Structure 1
Amino acid sequence: MLSRRLFIAAAPLALATPGILRAQSVFRTFPFALGIASGDPSPDGFVIWTRLAPDPFEAHGGMPMSAMPVDWEVASDDRFANIVAKGQTFARPETAHSVHVEVTGLQPQRSYWYRFTAGGERSFTGRARTLPLAQAAVDRLKFGVAGCQNFEDGYYGAYNHLAREDLDFVFHYGDYIYEYRGSPTRANYFGGGLQVPVRQHLGQELYDIGDYRLRYAQTKADTDLQRAHAMHSFFHTFDDHEVENNWVSDINENADVPADVFALRRAAALQAWYEHMPIRRANMPRFGTGIFHRTARFGNLAELQLLDTRSYRSDQACDDGFKPLCEGVGEKTAQVLGAEQEEWLARNLKRNSARWNCLAQQIMMMSLDRRRAANEDTRIANMDSWAAYEVPRQRMLARMAGLGNVVVLTGDEHQNFVGDLVHQDKVVGTEIVATSISSGGDGSDLRYGSEQMMKNNPELRFLNDQRGYVVCEVTPDAWLAHFQVVDKVSVRQNSIKRRATAEIAHGTPGARMTGLPA
């Protein structure tokens, strides 16, 4: 498809004559079919990303097994009249011909536009925004929270709406892909009855690097997702489905694979995650491990601690699942974050140098009673949440006590929740759980048994079972979390509305709900 001789012959003409870039392309089809993205913004820059894949679903994305030069530009205007940074990098086969450019030297708290050129083809334009300086006096922050986007469960229309929001950035809590095999039918999540996917995964269940790359290619080919990436910079973390459902550390879901064998699958999965995310090189996985937790600071207004609740966690208690509490829930040596990450987080919270402290993470911190029927007499807990790790959970809550400014952002549940975080009968923080983009299908306002859950859990303030995302508006005095929900994900076009808003006053942990039906 692309020979060295052909590239060398075409490149000078393409670079000298931008007007005929497409006419002189060395690619058979558009090489930026998986879009472009920006991420991990800082006061002086951000990461810009793309992956060359002219045939995304073919082996190696249709690329030859050689490195290819990619030019990039960043401008202060969307017409690229004032280019403020540019350079050349290489898309290499070792990383699926992806590129991660860490742009620096930019001005704080302003928008920029970026694009790529390769082989005579130019990408469309993306927008990114830098953060304010760490100590800058800032009176407003607005950002999105999204994740859990099972391709088979529904379309990504919510991302089309998210792209239209005026945001400083988006926090993606994980489950960017799902590892399940493609199938024209399957058993329903809850009832076990027949379910027909809205659209179908390509390929088998994911095990090797080729499997994971194909699934990312199918996911990132979605144009609604591409619109959101082109409009907003993302902070990405991962949860379980980027590797395998409910994995932790070196333990697979059913604990039936040797740790060293599972490590090979995890390494392939995390390499593919890095290849497709706008992530800095410092957070690149190496042999399946790495340092993925990091801090993002928005002036003096808010500090976000981006956590990793998978890599260092001990095995789930009670054999995982939704189960009655067992003795293992109180295990004193249990870990969620691991000792090093937990100590890092403790230092950051103790410093308390921003108006708001935010823990941006994956699994629910509230210990909810999951019973959904009045005749159930035994408390049920989600063993893949903090509720199954009571000793480290209590340590975390104790560190929030007295701060009066902690908000925990969570995903994983495929529902919207708002609730108080309680330590020794005192509210020490507020948890905002954002629903899924598509996982769980269309949903409804309330899932079966939701009213019973509200009765069983006095700390809960809100519960909803629709798809969508959350928009957080933060000022020095208040944190507002708006729950934006779509009517359907079973069709490509949908409508969105604000279902409710959680209001948190600085210095007074706990949320007040507004916008609820009378």
Structure 2
Amino acid sequence: MRSLIVVENTGVVAPAGQFARRTLFKGSTAAAAAVLLSTATAHADGAVFRHGVASGDPLPGAVILWTRVSVAADATPGSGLGAPTTVRWEIATDDSFASIAATGTVTAGPDTDHTVKIDATGLSAGTDYCYRFTALGETSPVGRTRTAAAPDSAVERLRLGLVSCANWEAGWFGAYRHLAARSDLDAIVHLGDYLYEYGRGEYVGRNGAVRAHDPAHDIVTLADYRIRHGQYKTDPDLMALHAALPFICTWDDHESADNSWRDGAENHDPATEGPWADRRAASAKAYLEWMPVRETRTDGAVQIYRRLRFGTLAELSMLDLRSYRDEEVGPGASWRHADDPARTITGRAQMDWLTAGLVSSPVQWKLVGNPVMIAPLVFPPLESATTQAITAALGIPQGGITVNGDQWDGYTADRRAVFGTIAEHRIGDVVFLTGDIHTSWAADLPLDAANYPGGPTVGAEFVVPSVTSASVGDVLKAPPRTASVAAEEAIKSANHHLRYVELDSHGFGVLEVNPHQTQMDWFYAFDVTDPATGIRHGASFAVRSGGRLEPRAVPRS
């Protein structure tokens, strides 16, 4: 169906700001964007709104607005201290707030850690807005956001920044700074691991801890998670990005604990850290308090998998691949279990929601926000019709030996269900957008990896690198683009559908969607230990609507 096109692979340095721009406001200039960033940073030093402002989950007529109010010096995140206070919010079509679109008041109290989250409704589709909060005699920094286009509108272009895996201790968030300096983006998609749960020094980068986590221990309690969220929200580059663009987020494992699943996590010891259900509930409550995410509740349970639409051009389905999954297959368990049809990564209800949405989608491009990699990564891929005896005798899954059972490779029945639905219903233009593995990948999604490129494909996948979290190159501690290059070539030689693999670099992706193609550009930071790091352009890949796999140089506008 759809295949990837190599667009370009350059080492060109891309200084911040030198990109085609979608003006945030009609008649605005690049200087206005610079003023926004400096204002957000300066005002965040105030006493009341020291954690900045944020927006998220843009709909055609609504958007989430967020802030936190520091009501007293000792009313720090997680403290439980401080009296409730009234907060006024405003959203307007101009930065002078002369044309108010909606306004109201809300009470911020210790029950929500003094965070404020408003679902501002009654807005106009496809419109730029300013918003702000007022409390205790102080006005917050001004944030900017944008609603999604009307469902029936013919959108010519959607451009998203993609990020994943930002570890405070491993480096500075330069990727966020460079994204905030652009004014051509419609939103930021955060694919998980917005923060990390480890204690100080437990999980660091190539050069050790660049800055220290708070609290010092693994976060377990509600107060712990609130403190950690509060710390991350003080990063000036993250604050500037939140103030500049709406976020569309999902969680992965580190928002709770490493390799988490429905009933536990690798980094959780019930004997010393208490019941997993308590820790999971604490992490989820803090996340929903501190993030501009629109959640729903079914029978009291939180649901964050959801779908956002951008006119007739694209629809983005954001998945939750932690809350409902079975425990991963790993050491001590037979790899045969990866093929068990009873095992799930999505849960049945979410699988039905995902496949039904793909089948019935009224838009051209079906985008899936996917916390862990769905493309097969196996050594070697085995053709199922001729390897059933080997599979039965050795316990090797039919797709090959699974490298990482935490990915969809450990839940092959669910992957077959998704791929089978796409193939059976001839659904075109499906692109998975993925984070998690701290490296960069571009892949075709074959029905049978062993037969690629001869067999059919059902879509493509783009995987973005980490903002700071340790990459394969960091673990090897070899100079960048040395030892990892041989590993990249070995991976691609065993998995021909993997068209691009880069195991060293940290940074972000920029996804552009138009009626003709969907293109991903990777941008890499020079040095995450340098708070002023520059970036370079790494590579570009695209999947064309109705196209076949072919190299093609397509200049970016």
With the shorter chain as reference, the TM-score category is 0.7 to 0.9
Describe the SS at the equivalent of 1:437: coil
Describe the SS at the equivalent of 1:210: helix
User: Paired residue for 1:499?
Assistant: 538
| Aligned equivalents of 1:119, 1:219: Cα separation in 2 | 24
Residue 312 of structure 1: which of 318, 324, 329 is its match?
324
Once the two structures are superposed, residues 357-401 of structure 1 have per-residue CA deviations (whole angstroms, 9 ceiling, x without a partner) of 111110000121379xxxxx9945101000011111111111222
Mapped pair 1:210 → 2:223 = yes
Describe the SS at the equivalent of 2:409: helix
| Aligned equivalents of 2:442, 2:547: Cα separation in 1 | 15
Q: Which moved more, 1:291-300 or 1:57-66?
A: 57-66
Mapped pair 1:452 → 2:464 = no
Mapped pair 1:91 → 2:108 = yes
Mapped pair 1:302 → 2:314 = yes
User: Paired residue for 1:67?
Assistant: 84
Aligned length: 474
Residue 346 of structure 2: which of 315, 337, 356 is its match?
337
- How far the C-alpha of 1:281 sits from its partner, in A, is 5.1
- How far the C-alpha of 1:423 sits from its partner, in A, is 0.5
| Aligned equivalents of 2:351, 2:232: Cα separation in 1 | 33
- How far the C-alpha of 1:77 sits from its partner, in A, is 1.0
User: Paired residue for 2:391?
Assistant: none
Mapped pair 1:413 → 2:437 = yes
Matched-pair contact (CA < 8 Å) for 2:257–2:268: no
User: Paired residue for 1:40?
Assistant: 57
Once the two structures are superposed, residues 102-150 of structure 1 have per-residue CA deviations (whole angstroms, 9 ceiling, x without a partner) of 1111111011000111100111100000001112111111111112100
User: Paired residue for 2:447?
Assistant: 423
Alignment of 1:98-177 (within 5 A): 98-165=115-182, 166-177=184-195
Q: Which moved more, 1:41-50 or 1:253-262?
A: 253-262
Residue 178 of structure 1: which of 196, 207, 217 is its match?
196
Q: Which moved more, 1:228-237 or 1:432-441?
A: 432-441
- How far the C-alpha of 1:475 sits from its partner, in A, is 0.7
- How far the C-alpha of 1:57 sits from its partner, in A, is 8.7
Describe the SS at the equivalent of 1:395: helix
Once the two structures are superposed, residues 16-56 of structure 1 have per-residue CA deviations (whole angstroms, 9 ceiling, x without a partner) of xxxxxxxxxxxx95111111000011101201000113678
- How far the C-alpha of 1:99 sits from its partner, in A, is 0.6
* Cα-Cα RMSD: 2.8
Q: Which runs of 5+ in 1 are unaligned?
A: 1-27, 372-376
Matched-pair contact (CA < 8 Å) for 1:421–1:429: yes
Matched-pair contact (CA < 8 Å) for 1:56–1:217: no
| Aligned equivalents of 2:298, 2:113: Cα separation in 1 | 14
CA gap 1:187/1:237 in 2 versus in 1, 3 angstroms: closer
Matched-pair contact (CA < 8 Å) for 2:402–2:409: no
Mapped pair 1:482 → 2:482 = no
Q: Which runs of 5+ in 2 are unaligned?
A: 1-44, 381-395, 449-454, 475-479
Once the two structures are superposed, residues 57-106 of structure 1 have per-residue CA deviations (whole angstroms, 9 ceiling, x without a partner) of 96546774431100111111122222221111111210100111111111
Percentage of pairs with the same residue: 34
| Aligned equivalents of 1:198, 1:334: Cα separation in 2 | 40
User: Paired residue for 1:399?
Assistant: 421
CA gap 1:188/1:223 in 2 versus in 1, 3 angstroms: closer
Aligned partner letter, 1:130: T
Matched-pair contact (CA < 8 Å) for 1:503–1:512: no
- How far the C-alpha of 1:277 sits from its partner, in A, is 0.5
User: Paired residue for 1:53?
Assistant: 70
Aligned partner letter, 1:253: E
Describe the SS at the equivalent of 1:263: helix
Describe the SS at the equivalent of 2:330: helix
Once the two structures are superposed, residues 216-248 of structure 1 have per-residue CA deviations (whole angstroms, 9 ceiling, x without a partner) of 111110000001000000111000000000011
Once the two structures are superposed, residues 224-273 of structure 1 have per-residue CA deviations (whole angstroms, 9 ceiling, x without a partner) of 00010000001110000000000111122168538991000000001010
- How far the C-alpha of 1:486 sits from its partner, in A, is 1.2
Once the two structures are superposed, residues 442-474 of structure 1 have per-residue CA deviations (whole angstroms, 9 ceiling, x without a partner) of 953476222211222111111122111111111
| Aligned equivalents of 2:401, 2:275: Cα separation in 1 | 36
Residue 356 of structure 1: which of 338, 347, 365 is its match?
365
| Aligned equivalents of 1:145, 1:66: Cα separation in 2 | 38
CA gap 1:365/1:90 in 2 versus in 1, 3 angstroms: same
| Aligned equivalents of 2:75, 2:310: Cα separation in 1 | 41
User: Paired residue for 1:437?
Assistant: 467
| Aligned equivalents of 1:379, 1:55: Cα separation in 2 | 56
TM-score, with structure 1 as normaliser: 0.86
Describe the SS at the equivalent of 2:230: helix
Matched-pair contact (CA < 8 Å) for 1:271–1:285: no
User: Paired residue for 1:274?
Assistant: 288
User: Paired residue for 1:229?
Assistant: 242
Residue 279 of structure 2: which of 265, 278, 283 is its match?
265
Describe the SS at the equivalent of 1:305: strand
- How far the C-alpha of 1:197 sits from its partner, in A, is 0.8
Greater RCO, CA 8 A, separation 6+: 2
Q: Which moved more, 1:501-510 or 1:441-450?
A: 441-450
- How far the C-alpha of 1:508 sits from its partner, in A, is 3.6
| Aligned equivalents of 2:159, 2:317: Cα separation in 1 | 17
| Aligned equivalents of 1:285, 1:36: Cα separation in 2 | 31
| Aligned equivalents of 1:37, 1:463: Cα separation in 2 | 33
Aligned partner letter, 2:405: M
CA gap 1:459/1:446 in 2 versus in 1, 3 angstroms: farther
